[in-house]
A and B are shown apart, each in its own frame.
Chain A
């Protein structure tokens, strides 16, 4: 019997399912960051708002990257539905803490897919996901660095304003 699955699909079917779930997660992250941008805008934290607008776009790019990988390899990517986005926050610190937790959850999710790739010997997908493994390390580092600023500069008043001004220099910087 011919291997019609392999003829049509370069990746493992179960990996395709997990990647489709990851698409939903990246889309959720993108929307969650947009909600955070809105909160920052309303609280006159312009740099933080810009940070989250950019972050939101990045998550969308991650989503598209996975989306195209599935389709390019013969699978079917599904356009995600997004629900349950939080819009209420107590403080900017809470927002960045939520952002860090969200990134950690995404890292774990990516790692789980990599483990599964190894189990089913899907080297192509594992190689593809390596980019995301690196990306997640950077994302976590950025959020962690910003959270450290709160310890240094405080969470309100002038300290908060000064902290907001430091935000543009954080990503990719020292």
Chain B
């Protein structure tokens, strides 16, 4: 397993053997196909962080279901910020890897 990115709370890996990705959520590691990773990324992109600060989502809690509702996570504002960064950096790492490959 190769590490793709490590943020303050989480890390992401790629496994060549199983052609899968892993996200380490600290207490739990989730295996994801590329398609599931894309969907996770999309869910994070859709989270409107402004709502955490303008009172709309005063608790600052986000509930995310991953991998077709197999996993359920509850994140606070700080963790969401961290995850957004993780996924962004993970896809940058993947893009750099694609560039090296060609």
Residues of A that sit less than 8 Å from B by CB:
1-9, 13, 17, 74-76, 78
Name the contact of A76 in the complex, choosing from B42, B45, B97, B98 (C-beta under 8 A): B42
- A8–B35 CB distance below 8 A: yes
- What chain A residues lie within 8 Å of B42 (beta carbons)? 76, 78
- B35–A76 CB distance below 8 A: yes
- B35–A1 CB distance below 8 A: no
* Residue B10 interfacial (CB < 8 Å): no
| Number of inter-chain CB pairs below 8 Å | 41
Residues of B that sit less than 8 Å from A by CB:
2, 14, 16, 19, 21, 33-35, 38-39, 42, 45, 91, 94-95, 97-98, 101
- What chain B residues lie within 8 Å of A75 (beta carbons)? 38
- A3–B101 CB distance below 8 A: yes
- A3–B98 CB distance below 8 A: yes
Interchain Cβ contacts under 8 Å between A and B, 21 examples: A1-B2, A1-B97, A2-B14, A2-B16, A3-B97, A3-B98, A3-B101, A4-B21, A4-B94, A5-B94, A5-B98, A6-B101, A7-B19, A7-B34, A8-B35, A13-B38, A13-B91, A17-B45, A74-B34, A75-B38, A76-B35
- B91–A1 CB distance below 8 A: no
Q: How far is the CA of A1 from the CA of B1 in the complex (A)?
A: 9
Residue in A closest to B34 when the chains form the complex, CB atoms:
A8
Name the contact of A1 in the complex, choosing from B14, B33, B39, B45 (C-beta under 8 A): B14
Residue in A closest to B94 when the chains form the complex, CB atoms:
A5
Q: How far is the CA of A75 from the CA of B101 in the complex (A)?
A: 20
Q: How far is the CA of A4 from the CA of B95 in the complex (A)?
A: 10
Q: How far is the CA of A13 from the CA of B35 in the complex (A)?
A: 12
